[in-house]
Amino acid sequence: MAASAFAPAKVNLTLHVTGRRDDGYHLLDSLVVFVDAGDELFAEPAAELSLALAGPMAGQVPTGDDNLVLRAARMVCPPGLGAALRLHKALPVAAGLGGGSADAAAAVRAIAALCGLPLPDAAALAPLGADVPACLAARPVRMRGIGERLQPVAIPPLHFVLVNPGTSLSTPEVFAALEKKENAPMPEELPVWDGVASFCRWLGALRNDLETPARALAPAVGEVLARLAETEGCLLARMSGSGATCFGLYGDAAAARQAAEGLARAFPDWWVRAAASWQAGDAPGR
């Protein structure tokens, strides 16, 4: 018997930093979706917990006991049981795509399936990181607080081009470089959109507050955003999370695919992927 779970990339369509708690955690108001580009985690029964890495980005993943996948597995694996885990790492690391959190959530899903257990309450996984509860849900959500307040959101199907210039950014360093810690949240009431065009017009009036400090720390972010905005059919270009991955939004899959192919040819050292929005229950991504 074996189990597997897809770990989709998380894209922050917005990221408003609205304050900071006394314990140092930042308060956020963020609109989050998942896409069909991601990692894959496989689990087989074993006497102990172990993790093997494969895939084009495997060399970027730390392998010690503090690895987020192993920490998540230890939280849910029943006493006396183990699992041999294998992570196929396709997403860049420290890239603003929630890859480590998505991998941790995938480990929880795979071990639960392997052991015939129900999924734990998402809030119980918060000690693993603010993004892990949202990644376990793997559906469009509005994240507030430090990430523990999740509100499901109905968003039109979206088509993306994801671009990372090969630059890793430290999330704590980006937050530390943010000059103003208390900024306006998103509107309390979200509208009902009649399609991608109206959604992108609304989205364009909102922000990722971490984009400015990320661009200062990694000027390549600005180059990526400019190149995305120049592609035919790009409705919006923005950075995801704390960077350095940026995304362009397009009206259909063909436009996104054409833009991705052009950027990959022009910038062969960049990580470029066309992707579409994805949620739990969909067929596994690519």
Answer yes or no: are the C-beta atoms of 274 and 161 closer than 8 Å.
Answer: yes
Count CB atoms within 10 A of the CB of residue 194: 9
Q: pLDDT (tens digit, 9 = 90+) per residue, 125-137?
A: 888 988 999 999 9
Answer yes or no: are the C-beta atoms of 248 and 236 closer than 8 Å.
Answer: yes
Residue 282, pLDDT score: 78
Structure tokens at 278: 């994805």
Q: pLDDT (tens digit, 9 = 90+) per residue, 108-162?
A: 999 999 989 999 888 788 889 889 999 999 999 999 998 889 999 999 999 999 9
Residue 285, pLDDT score: 62
Catalytic sites, residue numbers: 10, 131
Model's pTM, two decimal places? 0.94
| Phi and psi at residue 117, to the nearest 5° | -105, 150
Residue 126, pLDDT score: 84
Judged on CB neighbours under 10 Å (0-12, 13-18, 19+), 120 is middle
Write down the H helix ranges in 124-236.
Answer: 132-137, 171-176, 196-204, 211-217, 220-230
Sketch out the chain's domains with CATH numbers: 3-151 (3.30.230.10), 155-278 (3.30.70.890)
The per-residue pLDDT of the chain, averaged, comes to 94
Residue 281, pLDDT score: 78
Q: Which one has a higher pLDDT value, 3 or 148? A: 3
pLDDT greater than 80 at residue 286: no
